Every structure is written in C-alpha cells, then in structure tokens.
Chains A and B, each alone.
Chain A
C-alpha cells in the first residue's frame, strides 16, 4: 500500500539533494517547479543540517512542459556560471522534468563549452529508488567528476566517505572520528564526502593518504578513488568499546600504521568500569528487550554494542530503506531473522504490539508510534521534533559508547518503576 499516515520513504532525488547541499560552495540548479526546491530547503532543518551549498531553482511553466522548451535551464546555468564562477555546477532533474523527458545530460553536454564550470548532471527524478541511491550516486559522482589529480601528498591525513546529513548524529560522530584518529594515530582529517564539507576540500581529497568508508553507499566512491588515485580504503564504522577497538586495529593493519597503545589502554580501562555499571543497573531487569531502527550499516554496526556489550535483547532491527543494495556485508543468520527492510506503517505498529519492547532505539516516527514505550532514544532519521546543536553527543567511538551508556542509565533510572524485575 502506498498510503501513509506518517511519512513515505524519501526518494533518490531527496538523497541526492541531501548529499549535495551540505557541501559549501557547491552550486546546484534544480530544473523543476520552484515549490519543490523551497520545500527541500525547509526540509534541511528537520535533518538538523545547514544549507551550505548555493541552491537555485529555475521554476517551470506550461511552456516548458508542453513544448519541452529547456532554454530556461540553459540560461540559468550560464547565469550561475557567470555570477558565481563555481568550479562545478550540479544540475538536478525534478520528477516533472524527467517525466516530460527533458534530457538533462544532453543539455549539460551541449552547453558545456559555453561555461567555465564543469557541469555534472543528476537525471534521476525521484522515481527510481530510495534516498540511499541518491546518496550513493552523489558520492560516486564526487569521486569521478570533482576530485582532481593531487599536486602533492599530505602525509598523515585521511578522508571520510559516507558521513552525510541523513544520518541523525552526523555532526557529533564526525567530530568523534576526528578525535579518535588524532588521538590514536596522530592523523588529521582532510576531506569529508559530504557532510559539512566544501567543494575545495573534495577537489583536493586525492592529497590524503587513504579513505575511511562509513556506509555502503560510499564504497563505489572509494573504489573510484582507488582506481584513479591509488588510494586504499577501509570500510566500517566504530560503535561500542569493542567495535571501536576493532575498527582502530583494522585501520592500523590495513594501512600498516602504529597506534598509541597508551590511549587505547586508558579507553579499555574506562570501558570495563562503565560496562560493569551498566550490567549492575540492568541486572534485575526481566528480559531487557528492545527494537532498533535506522540505516542498514548503522543497524549492523551498532547492534553488537547494544546486544553483546550492553546485554539489551534487540528482537527486531528495522532498516529504514529497501534491502536492494546490501551485498557489501555478510549478514549472520541470527541477524537475518531480525532484519526487516522498509516495513509498512501497519507492520511497524504490529511489531510494537507483538514485541513489547522496553526500549526503542529508533527514528522520530517509530518513537511517535511507540509513545507508550517507557524508554526511547532517538538514534536515526526521520526526525520530527529533536533539535541537535551541540556536536559533543556522538554515537560512534569511545565517547559515543560512553554517551549512550549515560543516556541509557538515565532512562533506566527514570523508569525503574515500569521495569519488571526478574526476581
């Protein structure tokens, strides 16, 4: 059923726009009715993100639709090129322009010689897939069309691929990763694809030593950079104490680095204390059951922390998009049974009734549906009401694990009366 009481699944076009608009100095032109762009701009607030790019609409009238007249788009491209002199202009089709058959790629090709900026078309009009496809296409295109040959190599630097504004905690997580890499390896972050980044940083991404890919949508981007600039990459995101240690060790091994054991020792010591405290707090709780929702890689990566380290029995794992593009990871049998891809609203409501979770780690909609559940932590988008300003509340890394334990302990403390004892 395509009927929704809450929100439909965001489209590929929405993902494209989300991935591009967080890049400072990126120039984006949308070929479609102005209302589409205006709505999109207001949508960034819901993601707790800033519009860092320069985003324009051409608007469209009946002449453009009936006669297929694309002069409006050509004039807009030439104008933006002349006024802002950007290195790249991203030209996006709207659903309407793609339905009427406006060939964005051909238009860009035809006028490429008349403008200084490199024109990068995105012809997906929002009916080909969900937002993850749009994000994947942008990341890949940045590697293919924007990153330049390196003029020099910058030692002890790396790029992050796949930190994007659709991820609920992207700003805090990015800061945590920077801190981790600095503290353990003494490495500095060079460019981010594409959250809170800039066109210049992305253009110069090839100067870094290697890439870290946080989500599957970024693998093709990393492959392109590997082929074009011989940059190796490491795939994975650090959640929980063990997960973070494994992640650091994985990077250490992949790139033959030597990390700071003293730093790691201190973190391990801290983790033992906090895990013990968490276990003491949940020891008396009967069947501490929970449901988790979010992007596929997020769910896969944070699951071992919540399930194994914190002993929360996550009975269902809801992935907020389709399961078409998950071949980059092996899913173990025990998780396969729990994973549900893009369930309907009715299915989610049934699930909440059937599973009787004591805690939801979810998106804003799941939290709204599960209002009766006493403990809820928002960990993913869509976001309805939560405002995120402070960039010191990560989910990733050692600090992410500590922060989540703190939030959990507080939730348990406030809801102790509602939790059944196993004794």
Chain B
C-alpha cells in the first residue's frame, strides 16, 4: 500500500488559532523536538556560581551532562556546573526524597555553590516527587539558595518552557535595590558579545550602562543586583515571563525588543527604548533604517517570486516569514513549535500580503521528502539533511549566526546571508550543469 503524507491534514495560517491547530504531517517523528531539560541546559550554565542538579534517568542525566561538558569546552568562560542524580527502580517505587536531601547537602558542603537549581524530569513528575517540599524541608540547613525547575516533556512540545522556567527561577535571587537611572538589563540573550550588537553599541554611546545580561553574562551575586536597572530590554520571548515578574515585584518596566526582521518593528522598538530611557537616538536610527531600506529595495527583485519552506531559525517563525513575504517571497509551509506572543499579528501580516501557507509542527523532517515534490520550494530555511535538499534542487539557508544580533543588523544580516546563499547556489548549479532555480520535482 502506498502511504501519502497529505498536506490537507494541515491547517493554513488563516486557520491557525491555537497551538492545537499546528498539526504533525506524520505520526512518526524524526528527530522530534528537544525537551525542556535541554532548555535548562542551554540557559542555566551561563550563571556563574550556580550549580544545577538534574534529577532523572541515566539517559536524561547522561545526555544533558555530555551536552554541557561539550558546550563549556567550546564557549569561552562558560563553566560546567551541572551535576546528576541518576534515579533507580527503587526510587520510582519508593520515592527518593531522603536521598535527594542528602545529595543536596553534599553538594552544598563539597562545592559551596551560592545557589542550586533542582531540575525535575518526566519520571519524577509522574511519580509525584515533591521538590518544593524538599526545598522547604532543607533550605535552612544549606547555605546555597535552592530553586526548582520542572521539565516534564509530556505537557509541552519543545525545550522552550525549560528556558522560560530557568529564567523565571532567577527572580528568587534578586533583591530590592536603589534604581540607577541610566542602567538597563538585557534579559533573554543567550549569546556572548551583547555589547557589540547594534542596539547596545548605540545605547552605550548615549551613556546607558549595561547592568546585567541574563543569562549570558551574570553570576548569582550579580543577579541580586538586577533590580538596580531602570529598564529591562527583553531580547527573546522566552524572558517575557521573567520581565513581567520583575515588573510586578520590583516595578521595573520593560520593552520587548526581539530579534525582529520587520524594519518597522525594529524602529518602533528603538523609539520605545529611547522614550523609556529619555535619550535621543532619532538621527542614528534614521540612518540605520535608511541603510536597511536601501538593502531591501536592492534585494527585492532578487528575492521576489522565490518560494520557501520555513524550517527553523533562532528568530520567530511567523515574524521571519512575514518579512520574507514583504520581500516578495512566497511561503509554502511554515514549521512552528507553538504559538507565542504576537504570532497572531505576524500571521495576519502574512495573510494581508496575500499568502496563506500551510503550518506544521517543527522538528519532523521525516515526511518532508514526500511533500517537496508537491510544494516545489526554491529555498528551505533551516536545518535539514543538505543532501536531501541538494538532490531536489532546493537551496538551503541556515541563519544560526544571526541570533547574536540586535537591531536593524538582524534583517540586514539575514538579507546578506540569503543573497550570498543564492549566489553560491547559482554558481554551484552552473558548475554542475544543473538548470538554475529549478524547483523540486
């Protein structure tokens, strides 16, 4: 029997109202999404003097540890303070509260961390081990501040909740501080070199001081001083919950300024920040905008008419796709993890530009092989097996390096990378004698 993955199983952008409308193309998923535990591994390692204790199966703890060891080996200044408590069959049946308390006390005495993040995993959530009760029972007996993050994957579709919850947990380390009027926190940025971004270079030139970058440049002690900042700039949607909590607890206002592609949104973000900090950046922003506008106008004829599938980037799926639509490109399929803040607006923009692509769940490249022929994309944005794409004459663009940017440099770098990839693809086709820009068949 021939089995077909049918696109009509999916909903289109106009029909996508809740996360449940984001359907899978197939039951069998490959490679599948990462879990919230991975989100913790991506986030907590940045905080100096924070130890993270992952409580889970051999498998969960083993792979998390190999990831954090490898990561700390490749990122300058990143320590690997992840420890594991590997549960056994007895723990599943009888619970492991006493053993965990002993382990926490041992960590406290042996490593003397300033804080310990206790991370639960799927099995611990199923057996109902009460981590909050453990913290309540032993907080007074240990010097380290104890915090809990839950990472069960059966309640969500990705690693994002792990990032969100790790960031949210950090509020427990913060203390009331007198406000420094010219100081800001950058929250949600998980890459080094934030001071070199367009946004921060401009703000610093106006006398604005970076108080803290959460999580990529901070320590337990420094986090305590986070409430000194006059403003939080949220550069990733995963930190919005933390920003809301900080606003409620410490009265710190925030501006949500993600890695936007839309020039209007970037401009609006700049002016919102300027207004809150009472600085004048009109001249500089106008110059940045003019350069970005000029690049857009130059490249629109090159990008225009090209069809694409959005797989994944460090940016926002629908916001990114909306920008490519604005460049005249035609979306065929958008892969999304979930629906996040403002996605309704970005989806509306895609529809208003005259497009209504299919939407499917991210991290499942297995069924795509069958539907490339039907969708005939020119470009695949994101990670896929390059050989699969090459064989079908589909150009691949990956944009991981854009994640470090903030401001107009985000859309400009994206345009430059896509343009360069197009040129490369064209040269490769000429070399191999393939017809230029042919679509999948």
Measured CB to CB, the residues of A under 8 A from B are 1-11, 13-14, 29, 33-43, 46, 54-62, 64-65, 72, 75-76, 79-80, 82-83, 95-96, 99-100, 126-128, 382, 384-385
Q: Closest residue of chain B to A79, judged by CB?
A: B27
How many residues of B are in contact with the other chain, CB < 8 A? 54
Which segment of B99-107, B210-218, B268-276 sits at the interface?
Answer: B99-107
Name B62's contact: one of A8, A33, A127, A384 (CB within 8 Å): A8
Partner of B29, one of A3, A34, A128: A34
State in angstroms the CA–CA spacing of A274 and B311 once bound together.
Answer: 56
Q: Answer whether A59 and B63 are a contact pair too, CB < 8 Å, given A8-B84, A38-B363, A79-B3.
A: no
Task: Select the stretch in B86-94, B256-264, B338-346, B418-426 that faces chain A.
Answer: B86-94
Q: Is B83 an interface residue (CB 8 A)?
A: yes
Given A3-B84, A79-B28, A96-B154, A14 and B62 contact (CB-CB distance below 8 Å): yes
Cβ–Cβ contact B59 & A11, under 8 A: yes
- What are some 8 contacts across the A-B interface (CB < 8 A)? A4-B65, A10-B58, A14-B62, A35-B159, A38-B34, A58-B27, A127-B88, A384-B70
Q: CA separation between A58 and B62, bound complex, in Å?
A: 22
Chain B hits for A60, CB < 8 A:
153-154
Say whether B286 faces chain A, with CB atoms less than 8 Å apart.
no
Q: Give A401 Cβ to nearest chain B Cβ, in Å.
A: 31
B61 is an interface residue with CB less than 8 A from chain A: yes
Interchain nearest-CB distance for B88 vs A (Å): 7
Interface residue ranges of B41-77 to A (CB < 8 Å): 57-67, 69-70, 73
Q: B139 contacts the other chain (Cβ, under 8 Å)?
A: no
B66 touches A43 (CB 8 A): yes
Which secondary structure dominates where chain B touches chain A? helix
Not counting A34-B32, A56-B29, A99-B127, a sample of 7 additional A-B residue pairs whose C-beta atoms are within 8 angstroms of each other reads A1-B103, A4-B85, A11-B57, A35-B35, A38-B38, A65-B154, A76-B28
Q: How far is the CB of A61 from chain B (nearest CB, A)?
A: 6
Cβ–Cβ contact B30 & A128, under 8 A: no
> Does B387 count as interface, using CB distance less than 8 angstroms?
no
> Nearest chain A CB to B265's CB is how many angstroms away?
31
Q: Closest 10 A-B residue pairs measured CB to CB?
A: A35-B35, A34-B32, A82-B3, A8-B86, A56-B28, A33-B153, A39-B63, A11-B58, A76-B27, A57-B32
Chain A residues positioned under 8 Å from B366 (CB to CB)? 54, 56
Candidates A13, A80, A127; contact of B92 at CB < 8 Å: A127
Asked if A34 and B35 sit within 8 Å, CB to CB, the answer is yes
Q: What is the 8 Å Cβ interface bit string for chain B, positions 96-127, against chain A (1 contact, 0 not)?
A: 00010001001100000000000000110011
Closest beta carbon of chain B to A199's beta carbon, Å: 17
User: Quick one: given A4-B86, A14-B59, A82-B1, are A99 and B32 in contact (CB under 8 Å)?
Assistant: no
A9 to B62, CA, bound (A): 8
CA distance A14 to B89 in the complex (A): 16
CB neighbours of B32 from chain A (8 A): 34-35, 37-38, 56-57, 59
Chain A residues within 8 Å of B84, by CB = 3-4, 7-8
Nearest CB in chain A to that of B82: its residue: A5
Contacts of B363 in A (CB 8 A): 34, 38
Do B153 and A35 have beta carbons less than 8 Å apart? yes
Q: Does B31 have its Cβ within 8 Å of any Cβ on chain A?
A: yes
Whether the Cβ atoms of B57 and A29 lie closer than 8 Å is no
Distance of A33 Cα from B153 Cα, bound (Å): 6
Q: Are A62 and B59 in contact (CB-based, < 8 A)?
A: no
1/0 contact string of B383-395 vs chain A (CB within 8 Å): 0000000000000
Is B58's CB under 8 angstroms from A385's CB?
A: no
Out of B33, B61, B66, B88, name the residue touching A35 (CB < 8 Å): B33
